[in-house]
Amino acid sequence: MPTRQIYWNVVGHLILYLFVVAGAAVFLYGLYRHWRNWRMGKPAMRWDKPWERVKSFLSNTVFHLSVLKEAYPGIMHACIFYGFIVLAFGTVAVLLQADLGLHVMYGGFYLWLSLALDILGVVAIFGLLLAAFRRYVLRPKRLESTADDAITLVALLVILLTGYFLEGLRMAAAGDQWAMWTPVGLVIAKWFGATLGAGGALAPATLGLAGIEMWHRYLWWFHMLLAVGFVAYMPYSKLFHIVLAPTNQFLRNLGPKGALAHVDIENSETFGASRLDEFTWKDLFDTNACTRCGRCQDQCPANFAGKKLSPRDVIQSMRKTLEKYGPALAAVQAKVRAKKLDPAKEYEAMEEAVAELEMPALIDDIITEDVLWNCTTCRACEDQCPIFVEVIPKIIEMRRYLVLMESRLPTEAGRTLRNLQNNGNPWGLARTSRGDWLQKIEARKLAEGEEVEYLLWVGCFGAFDDRSKAITEATVKVLKAAGVDFGVIGEGETCCGDSARRLGNEYLYQTLAQENIETLKAYKFKKIVTACPHCLNALKNEYPQLGAAVGQPGAAVGQPGLSFEVVHHSQLIAELVAAGKLKLGTKLAGEAAKVTFHDPCYLGRYQGEFAAPRAALKAAGAEIVEMPRHGRTSFCCGAGGGRMWLEEDAAHKVNARRAEQALGTKAGTVVTACPYCLQMFDDGLKAVGEQRDITKDVAEIVAKAL
């Protein structure tokens, strides 16, 4: 590498490193300010499963898989990312060789690096222009443009362009025998009067050489100081996501997607979060890592229906509050903890100290109750987030605070929770009537200690709701036809607790769950099959927190003999069809054969199951016409997160919006695989004027084809 050419025209270039040190100090101070805010959060384990985390980093940061879920912004970001990665590598190589005297670039390697730097720099400029065009010309609704965004784009473009002009000016003044390996610099050098010889070597310009050298000298200092200043500015700007986004991808939640954080009810003095210091450090880290891209808002069904909820705004509201009041709150926390009080007194002391700060309340002043209760916990926001910001846990923590600490919740939610507490079902029907469906449907009711391969978990809807009893009947019919060894508990079941937990009543959830776990211990089975994805998620992903060993060999710790797997009825049906154990003799025909399938959130995004229901439908002869939003981008029915039991504003019904999407396919039947979704579709279709009975569960379609 021609080292002598790098600083040939710059006097006192080593002084730059004084600015580098100053810039690094400013950068580190900004990082410290953020770290001081993050560390006041509660503990959270995000260092387990290191290899899984490395794979997440490689796939989502290095290979950009999560970013490329959307083509335009994905390609735009990839151009900028890969361009600057190569440019940063080249900068480090120059530092090592030109300033530290380490010979890291020889012959061909230097030439290929020069070519890569020129090409990838253009790629980065292209990405920045795409970003500017999108933000200031296309202007998608989800993007919020601030002065920081403009500063970032302009600064990056100027750094890149001045870098190319520096290269061209150097080549024009000093010549370059390897000019063909720096094509962009060559074009600029020729523009300044350099000439390319027959052998490919660039001869220096002869006219205006003094002016070229002067411009090179001044531009070099401008370019370098701008780059150093830009790095120093990063922790105070949106561009800090260069550091935080990859870190967040490494620190992502690797547990079951459907499992909320466990709460130690017996040893907790307070529940939920109403202040920033009551969230985990990872929750606080998320607020700074968020890039404000708006993908979450685009996917949010509540936001689409016009409700007061934007996942991005929830995170950004927390970020702004953290940046403004975090230092004072952290100082107060340190003083209170220094007193070494017991948990109850420490909480009271914190409340009193925070009151003196006259901070706005996070709940009500910053984030309203309407926003918190409008969430359906569908996970569309988290599934689409390229850096895995976790929105739902924060909303649930605030709901827990409202319900368990202040008894503030919608009237309908209170009624539902009382029914669950008193009768073990959301309607408040008698517990003893849970098994009444068995009078119509012949199914084997298990005695304690009796052994079967599958336990059919019916759930509240399948046992009490008249429409959903048809799903139970169809499921029993299909399992019998396939010769499956199964049985049911009947009135021994109680609600799985899903709605209670997501409505914020963790205590009631754990009460119901423990009751079910104790009941299950009295029976012998290998697997549980259920038609309700909400029951599936609770049994499979959340009961292990309380001692059930789901999908693991042997007994669970503290729960001897309780070990089982949980599957959805559509998964079992598809498996039985594939194994040839379920014979479907009558195929669907005519208008009934044209169906559209709605992916339930708690089966699709939560469990990653999209293929099994479709395989079962196709085996029954169904022709599936997909809605525009299906699979991972499926639009929620509006029932999750306890919303099934809350009143809906007629003008902003999520299920009505989804019903319109289903009718747009012109399918003769709307099929789903969740009793919640089925109920919401029945109501939503009526809300948009569709009077036909066109909704079915997967099991009903398959049973009809037997």
- Per residue, the 3-state secondary structure of 176-245, as one string, reads ECCHHHCHHHHHHHHHCCCEECCCCCEECCCCCHHHHHHHHHHHHHHHHHHHHHHHHHHHHCHHHHHHHH
Q: Which of 578, 598, 619 is the last residue of a domain?
A: 578
Do 572 and 595 fall within a single domain? no
CATH number at residue 574: 3.40.50
Q: Residue 322 domain-assigned?
A: yes
Write the CB contacts of 214 (distance below 8 Å, at least 6 apart in sequence).
Answer: none
> What average pLDDT score do residues 1-6 get?
47
Residue 9, pLDDT above cutoff 80: no
Residue 616, pLDDT above cutoff 70: yes
Q: Residue 313 domain-assigned?
A: yes
> What pLDDT, in 10s, does the model give residues 230-258?
999 999 998 999 999 999 999 999 999 98
Q: Which of 230, 247, 264 is the last residue of a domain?
A: 247
Indicate the pLDDT class of residue 559, thresholds 50, 70 and 90: very low
Residue 564, pLDDT above cutoff 90: no
Q: How far apart are CA 4 and CA 266, in angstroms?
A: 71
| Residue 391 confidence (pLDDT) | 98
Domain assignment of residue 192, given as a range: 65-247
Do 298 and 390 fall within a single domain? yes
Q: Residue 47 domain-assigned?
A: no
Q: Residue 160 domain-assigned?
A: yes
Q: How far apart are CA 676 and CA 489, in angstroms?
A: 22
Q: Residue 256 domain-assigned?
A: no
- The strand pair at 623-624 and 563-568 is best described as unpaired
> What pLDDT, in 10s, does the model give residues 282-341?
999 999 999 999 999 999 999 999 999 999 999 999 999 999 999 999 999 999 999 999
Do 298 and 442 fall within a single domain? no
Indicate the pLDDT class of residue 209, thresholds 50, 70 and 90: confident
Q: Residue 31 domain-assigned?
A: no
Residue with tokens 């499926």: 634
Residue 466, pLDDT above cutoff 70: yes
* 3-state class percentages of the chain: helix first, strand second, coil last, to nearest 5: 60, 5, 35
Neighbouring C-alpha atoms within 13 Å toward the C-beta of 443: 31
Write the CB contacts of 176 (distance below 8 Å, at least 6 apart in sequence).
Answer: 2, 5, 170, 182, 185, 189, 201, 202
Q: Residue 7 domain-assigned?
A: no
Q: Which of 408, 441, 468 is the last residue of a domain?
A: 408
Do 442 and 574 fall within a single domain? yes
Do 69 and 214 fall within a single domain? yes
Burial class (CB in 10 A: 0-12, 13-18, 19+), 440: exposed
| Residue 235 confidence (pLDDT) | 97
> What average pLDDT score do residues 574-586 get?
92
Q: Measure CA 624 to chain center.
A: 28
Do 103 and 142 fall within a single domain? yes
Distances (CA, A) of 195 to 79, 169, 178, 677: 32, 13, 13, 72
> What average pLDDT score do residues 189-206 get?
83
Do 474 and 385 fall within a single domain? no
> What average pLDDT score do residues 645-674 get?
94
* Percent of the chain whose predicted confidence (pLDDT) is above 70: 96
| Residue 110 confidence (pLDDT) | 82
Number of domains in the chain: 4
Do 646 and 533 fall within a single domain? no
> What pLDDT, in 10s, does the model give residues 338-376?
999 988 898 899 999 999 988 999 999 999 999 999 999
Decide if 223 contacts 162 (C-beta within 8 A): yes
Indicate the pLDDT class of residue 6, thresholds 50, 70 and 90: low
Q: Residue 511 domain-assigned?
A: yes
Q: What is the mean pLDDT of the chain?
A: 92
Decide if 438 contacts 488 (C-beta within 8 A): yes
Do 495 and 628 fall within a single domain? no
Residue 463, strand partner residues:
none
> What pLDDT, in 10s, does the model give residues 417-464?
999 999 999 999 999 999 999 988 889 999 988 899 999 999 999 999
Do 634 and 571 fall within a single domain? no
| Residue 551 confidence (pLDDT) | 60
Do 342 and 446 fall within a single domain? no
Do 101 and 221 fall within a single domain? yes
| Residue 87 confidence (pLDDT) | 93
Q: How far apart are CA 463 and CA 517, in angstroms?
A: 19
